[in-house]
Amino acid sequence: SVCPCVRARQLPPGRVPPLPPRRFVAGGRCESAARLDGKAAVITGANTGIGKETARELARRGARVIIACRDTAKGEAAASEIRAETGNPQVLVKKLDLADTKSIREFADSFLAEEKELHILINNAGVMLCPYSKTADGFEMHLGVNHLGHFLLTFLLLERLKQSAPARIINVSSLGHHGGRIRFHDLNGEKSYNRGLAYCHSKLANVLFTRELARRLQGTKVTANALHPGSVYTELVRHSVAMTWLWRILSFFLKTPWEGAQTSVYCAVAEELESVSGQYFRWVQADGMMYCGRKPCWLRKRALLSFFIKKGLCKRLVQLMPGRLKVTNTRALSLP
């Protein structure tokens, strides 16, 4: 059944209702009026785009919001804008480079030393269509930033989330996960690389990680859900000149960042989702169980690329369900 959040409501001050042809493109809106006073939230990549709009909405509801981003100057500008608009002084900026595990650990150490609670973690930051490159630790950039960086960040903050329960982990994935595959024999794309497929692979990893994380967190009152924000007019395609121009031409048919943030906000605040975990959301509603691809192909293969939580990143592959899994390369992706 469709959740109540898709009902029409009055837009926030300054928001113009979409024209009739755009209403379908805009998708649903978060209807929850829940307040977040006394709650703390970390949002990665919240200096621009969907993350910035998500931070604005959580701040408007009274949350203490930590903008975790690589470009702190841009982050401070966004934080100042949000503080001025919402009247909430508790919007802070901390440096976080998801392409560098040292930076991730430094962020986590600083956060844990200064903040006693964490109720909402939104893994929002991401890269798309990057030319082939690697992170500071030697991982392919899409996999390293979109999945492994957020995996490590989640692991480092997990105990604080459990202590602050009920708490929520929200992973911003993409409908592109349908085109993804976990290429066990070439995780870093050294044998074959396609920038579009590399993005899809990383988004599939987000979904699989969310599913396994939700299973492991059962009984802790910490939930984990993934979502597709829609096709949104943001800076995400900046690494592709062709896609940048295409995005400009098709901008009327794309969501605005505010519209794209609605599903993230819904997953973060909706009261009816307090015990919902392991789900995939789009159009501001649950899209059923997390089947990956047009058919549940990854469930048929009964395999999940899961990184054991031990000293950072994965130590070996695990299976979700009984059955055989042929893997050509099971070497651990260990941290240096």
Catalytic residues: 199
Show the beta-strand stretches assigned E in the chain.
40-44, 64-69, 91-95, 120-123, 167-172, 222-228, 279-282, 285-289
Of 292, 212, 225, 233, the closest CA to residue 263 belongs to: 225
Sheet with 167-172, strands from edge to edge, namely 91-95, 64-69, 40-44, 120-123, 167-172, 222-228, 279-282, 285-289
**Other Cβ atoms within 10 Å of 263 Cβ, number:** 28
Of 313, 269, 46, the closest CA to residue 153 belongs to: 313
Pairing relation of β-strands 285-289 and 279-282? antiparallel
**Other Cβ atoms within 10 Å of 276 Cβ, number:** 15
Residue 82 makes CB contacts below 8 A (sequence gap 6+) with: 52, 55, 56, 59, 65, 88, 91
Residue 67 three-state SS = strand
